């Protein structure tokens, strides 16, 4: 692990009697893009605000750049926040909005001018210095909000659902742009979103949260292919959660009603135990004929949906379990009737929750 810039130890936060965060432990590496991902109300904003210093935790320790900051006010933590609703000063021009933080810090005019100019250029806002926020589009205002944060050279740039007010197309281009700037400047960014696509596409590391606890901390690929809990498997993309049992043959294998499935990983310790296997719809193949292969499960195709790049099948096995299967459309005929499921073992994953 590289240098840790933000460290949280046992952070707990109550609002009245309800616990918004429950013993959060996290180490955030310098120059990485970290995303807090989870459904609405899971505690993402609360955690971000605790890092920024807008909320005080009821218990736990926060260290930023090797300094304990629980008792340090927000303006002295060297973090900078970008809010969903931009929160620009309406009576100030773009220049004044961006320069404000540096002026409060009593920087000299020459330094402020140079810094503001540099950041506005980076955010492609050169020439708009004299405009007021209400003379700009939502996307431009969002850039000003980011510029205002960047100008402070923060130890960590904190972004709370900053793109949710933008339309879908603009959102995607701003995602790419933000990520490029973060990499170019070597920034540490902590980003909050409930949008799994956004999290997967932008992050070095994702913190998946639910109900105030961290379910998993991992790279986008780890989170997607090796979900640690049912919640993560279900929340990220769509998946088939299969109740099965580990049985000992020559080697331990997963058995679903006696049909054997090879799953990645070592599960010697789980022999004779019930387990859950997460199998992504795109890792399953439907074959019209029975094949000698990993997992050969007879099914009936219930219906299919043509979605452009893929066909999503809903199928049912003879035990009454419904499966979702994605087949990338090759322009061939859509399948119907009886068939068999085969599974790519390297993409099925045993969840070790129980």
Ligand X SMILES: Nc1ncnc2c1ncn2[C@@H]1O[C@H](COP(=O)(O)OP(=O)(O)O)[C@@H](O)[C@H]1O
Q: What minimum distance in Å lies between the beta carbon of 38 and ligand X?
A: 6
Query: Of residues 24, 42, 52, 276, which one binds ligand X by CB under 6 A?
Result: 42
Of positions 35, 46, 229, 239, contacts ligand X by CB under 6 A? 46
Q: Which is nearer to Mg ion, 45 or 240 (CB)?
A: 45
Taken in order 86, 91, 95, 96, the sign of the CA dihedral is: negative
Identify the CA nearest to 142 among candidates 163, 121, 117, 119. Answer: 163
- Check binding of 40 to ligand X (CB under 6 A): yes
Q: Which does 89 bind (CB under 5 to 8 A by kind): ligand X, Mg ion, none?
A: none
What is d(CA 120, CA 126) in angstroms, rounded to the nearest whole number? 5
Q: Exactly one of 5, 26, 28, 44 binds ligand X (CB under 6 A); which one?
A: 44
Q: Which residue, 321, 325, 344, is CA-closest to 335?
A: 325
Tell me which of 5, 8, 11, 20 binds ligand X, using CB under 6 A. 20
Report CA Rg, the chain. Answer: 25
- List Cα–Cα distances, 267 to 128, 231, 245, 318, in angstroms: 60, 21, 11, 27
Query: Smallest distance, Å, CB 195 to ligand X?
Result: 12
CB of 241 to ligand X, least distance (A): 24
From the list ligand X, Mg ion, none, partner contacted by residue 15 (C-beta under 5 to 8 A by kind):
ligand X
Q: How far is residue 134's CA from residue 85's CA, in Å, rounded to a whole number?
A: 13
How many residues belong to the site for ligand X (CB under 6 A)? 10
Contacts to Mg ion by CB under 5 A: 45
If one counts every other C-beta atom within 10 angstroms of the C-beta of residue 266, the result is 9
Instruction: Give the shortest CB-45-to-ligand X separation in angstroms.
Output: 3
Report the nearest approach of Mg ion to the CB of residue 236 (Å): 18
By beta-carbon proximity to Mg ion, the closer residue of 38 and 252 is 38
CB of 13 to ligand X, least distance (A): 8
Q: Does 215 bind ligand X (CB under 6 A)?
A: no
252 binds, among ligand X, Mg ion, none (CB under 5 to 8 A by kind): none
Q: Smallest Cα–Cα separation from 241: which of 348, 313, 339, 345?
A: 348
The residue to which tokens 């049909």 are assigned: 259
φ, ψ dihedrals at 330, nearest 5°:
-100, 10
**Nearest C-alpha neighbor of 6 from the set 66, 64, 77, 56:** 64
Q: Which is nearer to ligand X, 34 or 119 (CB)?
A: 34
| Alpha-carbon gap, residue 252 to 298, rounded angstroms | 23
| Residue 56 touching ligand X (CB under 6 A) | no
Residue 305's contacts (CB-CB under 8 Å, 6 or more residues apart) are: 311, 312
Q: How far is the CB of 248 from ligand X (least distance, A)?
A: 43
**Contact between 45 and ligand X per CB under 6 A:** yes
Q: Which chain residues interact with ligand X by CB under 6 A? A: 15, 20, 38, 40-46
């Amino acid at each position: 692990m590289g240098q840790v810039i933000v460290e949280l130890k046992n952070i707990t936060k109550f609002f009245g009697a309800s616990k918004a965060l429950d013993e959060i432990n996290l180490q955030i590496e310098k120059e990485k893009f970290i995303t807090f991902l989870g459904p609405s109300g899971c505690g993402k904003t609360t955690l971000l605000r605790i890092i920024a210093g807008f909320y005080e935790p009821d218990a736990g320790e926060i260290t930023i750049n090797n300094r304990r900051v629980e008792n340090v006010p927000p303006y002295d933590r060297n973090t900078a926040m970008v809010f969903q609703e931009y929160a620009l000063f309406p009576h100030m021009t773009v220049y004044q909005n961006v320069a404000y933080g540096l002026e409060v810090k009593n920087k000299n005019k020459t330094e402020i001018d140079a810094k503001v100019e540099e950041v506005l250029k980076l955010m492609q806002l050169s020439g708009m210095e004299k405009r007021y926020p209400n003379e700009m589009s939502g996307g431009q205002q969002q850039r000003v909000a980011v510029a205002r944060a960047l100008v402070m050279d923060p130890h960590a740039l904190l972004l709370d659902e900053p793109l949710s007010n933008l339309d879908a197309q603009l959102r995607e281009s701003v995602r790419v742009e933000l990520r490029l700037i973060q990499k170019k400047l070597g920034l540490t960014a902590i980003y909050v979103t409930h949008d799994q696509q956004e999290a997967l596409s932008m992050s070095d590391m994702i913190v998946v949260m639910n109900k105030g606890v961290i379910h998993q901390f991992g790279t986008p690929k780890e989170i997607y292919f090796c979900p640690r809990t049912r919640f993560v498997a279900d929340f990220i993309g769509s998946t088939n959660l299969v109740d099965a049992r580990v049985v000992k043959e020559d080697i331990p294998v997963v058995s679903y009603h006696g049909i054997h499935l090879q799953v990645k990983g070592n599960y010697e310790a789980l022999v004779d135990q019930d387990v859950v296997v997460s199998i992504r719809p795109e890792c399953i193949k439907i074959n019209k004929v029975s094949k000698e292969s990993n997992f050969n499960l007879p099914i009936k195709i219930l219906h299919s949906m043509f979605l452009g790049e893929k066909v999503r099948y809903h199928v049912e096995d003879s035990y009454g379990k419904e499966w979702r299967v994605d087949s990338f459309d090759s322009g061939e005929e859509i399948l119907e009737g009886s068939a068999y499921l085969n599974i790519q073992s390297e993409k099925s994953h045993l969840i070790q929750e129980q």
